[in-house]
Chains A and B, each alone.
Chain A
Amino acid sequence: MLIYLLRRLLLAILVIVSVSVVTFFVARVIPSDPAALYAGQRPTSDQIAAARERLELDQPLYNQYFRFVRDILKGDLGTSYKTKHAILADIKTFLPATLELVIASTLMAIIIGIPVGVLAGAKHGGWLDQTTRILSIAGVSFPTFWLALVLQLFFFGTLHRLFPLSSRISNNVALFNSFPAVTGFYLIDTLLAGNFIAWRDAVWHIILPTLTLATYPISLTLRMTRAAMVETLSEKYITAARAQGLPERDILFRYALKNAIVPTLTVLGLSFAYSLTGAFLVEVIFSWPGLGKYVTDAIFNVDFPVIVAVTLIVTLFFVSINLFVDIIQAFLDPRVVLR
């Protein structure tokens, strides 16, 4: 067990080191001339030379890399070429918005995906199984950005402006019912402030983006739970429980699910990590002020330091979540250690 955990930890560290190398190359080596980008539009050759010195591009490559790593370790993610803001501060404001969205959609995947998956697996080949099969394949086939537009058309156009189309909160609510930013999660901050008008408004705003983002994890969770249930239900101890005359509901949700949940947890962890990047497309459409909006603006402005910093941060999350899932899995099902 200990060796397994150490191996996992080592791999995670290896990943983080290679991420720093890859992002370094993306930022400093591939672009034709970072100094020209930094100097802004139509720079003079003096400006470019000054920028080159400032960015230390005249140093040997390995020196540049060590400086890059040193700055990151000091918590300095650099400054945006475009706005000249410190990127770390920017990320601190944008990250909670993305996390709020991703957590909400993961919760949705748990609430919908697991129970429906259990029921579909219970009647293997039944109508629910067939229907959810097609629905969940459709769910992973939707281009996120297009699903967002369809939902907007349906809920805003057809259902008479039931849900708002963009941003995290209405302007007038932000103006007249403002609340202090404590966690950066609006759903939590509004509750902490006891501001229910703003809370309701924030809930209303998060529904459509969450629904869009959750389609993929719901489908994934559902299919995984179903597959694991089909397998678990064929075990002998389930037959024994049935022979004892235990109620079907207890068999499904108490005995079978407990064993079927392990692969589902892995998928949930994975889809949480995937959703961090999936959220980018959703944020663009719903003007959700998160990391995705931040990075797409950076793409538009060819603002490499921002793209690199976001890649680095999200990969850190990605790796930590995977590590966390591996550890949980090893505790829940010691057999994985032996594989």
Chain B
Amino acid sequence: MKVFTRWFGFRFAPDSIPAHLRRDPLAVVSSLIIMIMILSAIFAPLLTSRAAEGLGEPNPSEKLAPPSAAHIFGADHLGRDLYARVLFGGRTALGMGFLIVFGAVLIGAPLGAIAGYFGGWLDEVIMRVTDVALAFPPLLLAIAIASALGPNLTNAAIAIALTWWPWYTRIVRAQALALRERPFIEAAHVIGVGNFTIIARHILPNVLSPVIVQATLDLGSAILTAAALSFLGLGVQPPTPDWGQMVSTGRIYFPQRWWYVTFPGTAIFIATMAFNLLGDSVQDANK
């Protein structure tokens, strides 16, 4: 899912972003959507009177109720209000997204810093491993790992992060290569600071901003991939609210109870689209 954002060969200069983005209406709209999503995930319990149903408590008397004033998105097969489920599902989706990207950065960034800083055979080995890791079909590898580890939220995040880290290794390595030649690194070296202290204290903090920007843009693909795993039954397990898993369950009642798959599916789409749109605008602004 990541190819899309990767194929435009962009570089980041975060300082120049805001001014350009303000001129791009799509960037403004997508940032707004993302902010609303994050806020509604945080304040989910305040935005619905049926928070318990959102978290999984069944309500059998209103099984599969169609959308109405009481249930604006309808109700699911256990009678739970779908609006509340989708709202709380946003927590899972964003949480999964952060977890995946964070995990990938945690593996990828130090490797990239080591490769770029030391160079030589270490660089060669790490980059070949990265090439190999990129040559795996990501979704399938995630499927295999997630099914071996056992299906749950954390394992799905681990499985996806394991297919994702090489991108960060590449970004960080390129940055570290350039940083290595800078006077302040040389100065640290001369006064006898150890290599690993230099990497931890001076290299990593300085590559943080492009990594953070990239990580934010990757959230869309992360959410989409996590939803796909959940849809296959390898991700989040009920009763935890999750969009992919809701579409998967709702499919049984489709198309007669169309609302069950429509609202969670639309939520996945909007979340992914918002991050991808923002990513596209950031790339444009950097050209």
Interface residues of A (CB under 8 A from B): 11-12, 14-15, 18-19, 22-23, 26-27, 30-31, 133-134, 137-138, 140-146, 149-150, 152-153, 156-157, 219-220, 223-224, 227, 263, 267, 270-271, 273-274, 276-278, 280-281, 284-285, 295-296, 299-300, 302, 304, 307-308, 310-311, 314-315, 318-319, 322
Contact = CB atoms under 8 A, between A and B. Distances in A.
A162 to B, nearest CB: 14
Contact of A310 (B26, B136, B140, B255): B140
B149 to A, nearest CB: 6
A141 B139 contact: no
19 contacts: A11-B131, A27-B148, A138-B269, A143-B224, A143-B265, A143-B272, A146-B269, A149-B261, A153-B255, A153-B258, A224-B7, A267-B7, A277-B138, A285-B251, A296-B232, A302-B147, A304-B148, A307-B144, A318-B135
Interface in B219-257: 220, 224, 227-228, 231-234, 244, 247-248, 251, 254-255
B83 to A, nearest CB: 18
Given A15-B135, A273-B137, A143 B244 contact: yes
A134 B26 contact: yes
B269 A142 contact: yes
A31 B224 CA distance: 27
B224 A138 contact: no
Interface size bracket, B side? 35 or more
Contacts of A322: 135
A319 B131 CA distance: 11
Interface stretch (B54-62, B106-114, B273-281): B273-281
B144 A311 contact: yes
Interface of B: 1, 3-4, 7-8, 26, 128, 131-132, 135-141, 143-145, 147-149, 220, 224, 227-228, 231-234, 244, 247-248, 251, 254-255, 258, 261-262, 265-266, 268-269, 272-273, 276-277, 280
B135 A11 contact: yes
B3 A270 contact: yes
A82 B220 CA distance: 36
B232 A284 contact: yes
A227 B8 contact: yes
A315 B136 CA distance: 6
Contacts of A19: 136
A145 B228 contact: yes
A211 to B, nearest CB: 16
A15 B135 CA distance: 7
Contacts of B255: 149, 152-153, 156-157
Contacts of B4: 140, 219-220, 223
8 tightest CB-CB pairs across the interface, nearest first? A146-B265, A141-B273, A30-B148, A141-B272, A277-B139, A15-B135, A140-B4, A26-B148
A149 B251 contact: yes
A134 B247 CA distance: 25
B236 to A, nearest CB: 14
Given A143-B244, A146-B265, A311-B141, A137 B276 contact: yes
Nearest to A133: B280
B32 to A, nearest CB: 16
A14 B277 CA distance: 36
Given A26-B145, A142-B272, A143-B244, 10 more contacts: A138-B273, A141-B224, A143-B265, A146-B247, A152-B255, A223-B7, A276-B137, A296-B232, A296-B233, A311-B140
A270 B131 CA distance: 14
A223 B284 CA distance: 13
Contact of B137 (A150, A156, A263, A277): A277
B198 to A, nearest CB: 29
Contact of A11 (B128, B277, B280): B128
A308 to B, nearest CB: 7
A27 B144 CA distance: 9
B261 A146 contact: yes
B27 to A, nearest CB: 12
A18 B136 CA distance: 10
Contacts of B273: 137-138, 141
A146 B230 CA distance: 13
Nearest to A150: B265
A296 B229 CA distance: 11
Nearest to B221: A140
A271 B147 contact: no
Contacts of A310: 140
A274 B141 CA distance: 12
B269 A315 contact: no
A299 B224 contact: no
A128 to B, nearest CB: 16
B149 A277 contact: no
Given A137-B280, A149-B265, A314 B137 contact: yes
A143 B251 contact: no
Interface centre among B26, B132, B148, B149 (most CB of A within 10 A): B148
A281 B232 contact: yes
Contact of A141 (B141, B262, B269): B269
A138 B280 CA distance: 11
